[in-house]
Amino acid sequence: MKIALITENSQAAKNGIIHEALTTVAEPFGHEVHNYGMYTAEDSASLTYVMNGLLAGILLNSKAADFVVTGCGTGMGSMLACNSMPGVFCGLVIDPTDAFLFNQINAGNAISMPYAKGFGWAAELNLQDCYRKLFENEAGAGYPRERADVMRKNRGILSDLKDASCHDMLTVLKTVDQDLLRAAIAGERFGEYFYANSQDEAISDYLRNL
């Protein structure tokens, strides 16, 4: 699985801590982590939590990434922005129980975490524990197990509802503020990671021609 890490500007100084915790857990499970930044608070390309959502939509709908890990000060802004995108199902994860239940019940493709609120002593250990609960089990197995079929059905209904209420991603890209879109993909390693992994030529071509 390709996991994309996206960090917004207010928490950019913590990108190294988050990236290390994520790779420490994810890589032994055979997953590949692509760090889309921001890498430092001084990066010339600055991401807001709104851009986090737009970038998550691009990565997941093009299949350049299979899962997105993002966040902001509280985690709520990035979660809302992600969930405004077609095909993105993002949960707010604060502790390992959140991570486990989101994985088992919702089987979404993105999480948002608080990187300011409650981010204190041993925060990196909480990050590792959350990522472990996300990636150590098969997603969607259900909790409790006897409700797995009901949960699977509800995920399908939610997916259909999202399809009905959202435009496709290419339409979003064409109609969203183009300066906002350019800023969202301006990270120094976006081109290196995205174009090598995108499986949607229409999305790739549109972004190349911006």
Instruction: Give the separation between CA 175 and CA 206, rounded to whole angstroms.
Output: 12
User: Sheet of 2-5: strands edge to edge?
Assistant: 32-35, 2-5, 67-72, 110-114, 90-92
159's tokens: 């997916």
pLDDT of residue 74: 98
Note the pLDDT tens digit of each residue in 46-60: 999 999 999 999 999
pLDDT of residue 123: 96
List domains and CATH numbers for the chain: 2-208 (3.40.1400.10)
Instruction: Give the separation between CA 123 and CA 20, rounded to whole angstroms.
Output: 12
Q: Judge whether 56 and 7 are in contact, CB under 8 Å.
A: no
CA dihedral 131, 112, 63, 26 (to 10 degrees): -10
Note the pLDDT tens digit of each residue in 67-99: 999 999 999 999 999 999 999 999 999 999 999
